[in-house]
Amino acid sequence: MIEEKLLVSNLQSNKDKENAFRILVKEYKERLYWHIRKIVLNHDDTDDVLQNTFIKIFRNIDKFKGDSKLYTWMYRIATNESITFLNKKAKINNVTIEEVQENAINSLESDVYFEGDKIQIQLQKAIATLPQKQQLIFNMKYFENHTYEQLSEILETSVGGLKSSYHIAVKKITTYLKSNEDL
């Protein structure tokens, strides 16, 4: 991959913008997809949010000042887009965001793009019991292997705070799984 500074300057120039954007999409589509998928759970919704995320990145790239890393900035947009999507869905259906997540988990069993078993559904249920930020921290640390330093930039939280949130999240999830083993 070409150096980030050059990529950003190409993205912000009229001449090279499209080519640079193609490189950016190629490089980040999978990582951002999986990040979004863990929040919205369903493939079709993830597809919508991923496209919106890249379109937003394209339109707002001139506002990127380089204060943080480019991928940090993109992850932040993807996270915001995913949460905004869930909120909109909740508003349209006149339910809470927790109920939207619960419905999404209940639909997993019949989802053709889900091949997990009972324990993986239980894991999703356990994650859904966490507050929104802890859910993000858990998913990004456990499944996406981000370092605490990277997470600190993306979520704008101190490393210490993230560590303790992650510990609490793991504890809550293991407790949930243990108490729901027979379900």
Does 171 participate in binding other proteins (rule CB under 8 A)? yes
Residues 75-94 that bind other proteins (CB under 8 A): none
Which residues have a Cβ under 8 Å from the Cβ of 148 and sit 6 or more positions away? 141, 159, 162, 163, 166
By CB under 8 A, name the one of 5, 6, 13, 22 that touches other proteins. Answer: 22
Listed ranges 1-9, 37-45, 75-83, 93-101: which one lies at the site for other proteins (CB under 8 A): 37-45
Listed ranges 3-11, 34-42, 84-92, 153-161: which one lies at the site for other proteins (CB under 8 A): 34-42
Does 95 participate in binding other proteins (rule CB under 8 A)? no
DSSP-derived secondary structure letter, 95: S
Does 148 participate in binding other proteins (rule CB under 8 A)? no
Euclidean distance between CA atoms 176 and 10, whole angstroms? 48
Listed ranges 49-57, 71-79, 94-102, 150-158: which one lies at the site for other proteins (CB under 8 A): 49-57
| Contact (CB, 8 A) for 33 and 20 | no
By CB under 8 A, name the one of 28, 54, 75, 85 that touches other proteins. Answer: 54
By CB under 8 A, name the one of 123, 129, 148, 157 that touches other proteins. Answer: 123
Does 177 participate in binding other proteins (rule CB under 8 A)? yes
Closer CB to other proteins, residue 96 or residue 180? 180
Euclidean distance between CA atoms 9 and 38, whole angstroms? 31
Output phi, psi for 67, to 5 deg.
-70, -30
Which residues have a Cβ under 8 Å from the Cβ of 103 and sit 6 or more positions away? 95
Token pair of 5, please? 């500074």
Q: Which helix (H) or strand (E) holds 129?
A: none
Residue ranges in contact with other proteins by CB under 8 A:
22, 25-26, 29-30, 33-34, 37-38, 41, 43, 47, 50-51, 54-55, 58, 108, 112-117, 119-121, 123-124, 142-143, 167, 170-171, 173-174, 177
